[in-house]
Amino acid sequence: MTPGVPEAALAALSARLGLPLAFDDDACSVMVGEQPFSIRRDGPGDRLVVSAIVADDLPDAPSRKLVEDLLNLGFGLMHDGLPAVARDPETGFLAAFAIFAGDRLVAPEFPDAFEKFAAFAQRLADRLDKERHAPPAAADGAGPAPALHDAGYLPV
């Protein structure tokens, strides 16, 4: 990979976090609090993919509101840098991720975008954990849902 905007964005994040980002096969791990995050340089256009596991699996009886919100998150993929959620069919893990296209990436803004994504992933992990431990009758009212962006998808 040729040096460019993704490397400048990663350097800005490294400076913000106060630690070097050590890449192995174009990926690295970063801990924010107790939450691990993965950053991967990927594909054409030198895009950056940031991800975090937010749950080991879905709650046994997810509320309709949770299912709706998770499905709404799929629209994040249509907008650079907005989060999406996916479930690994082999492990059951739910992961939040955001894709930052290299040709639209603004290096000095990437640390703020990473911090917003980290806060989003933590809120989502907390919400999934809360719903997993909610009594079945109370699952639909288990805490406030993350606010929807005015375009209908959840913001970072």
Radius of gyration of the chain (CA): 16
How far is residue 117's CA from residue 51's CA, in Å, rounded to a whole number? 9
Q: What angle do CA 83, 87, 88 make, to 5 degrees?
A: 125
pLDDT at residue 77, rounded to an integer: 78
Q: For the chain, give every domain's residue range.
A: 5-141
Q: What residues contact 151, with CB distance under 8 A and at least 6 apart?
A: 79
CATH number of 5-141: 3.30.1460.10
* Amino acid identity for residue 52 in this structure: A
Per the CB < 8 A criterion, the answer to whether 64 and 46 are in contact is no
Per the CB < 8 A criterion, the answer to whether 96 and 120 are in contact is yes
pLDDT band at 149 (very low <50, low <70, confident <90, very high): low
Q: Mean pLDDT lowest for which of 43-52, 110-119, 129-138? A: 129-138
* Amino acid identity for residue 92 in this structure: G
The model's pLDDT over 16-30, given as tens digits with 9 standing for 90+, comes to 999 888 888 889 999
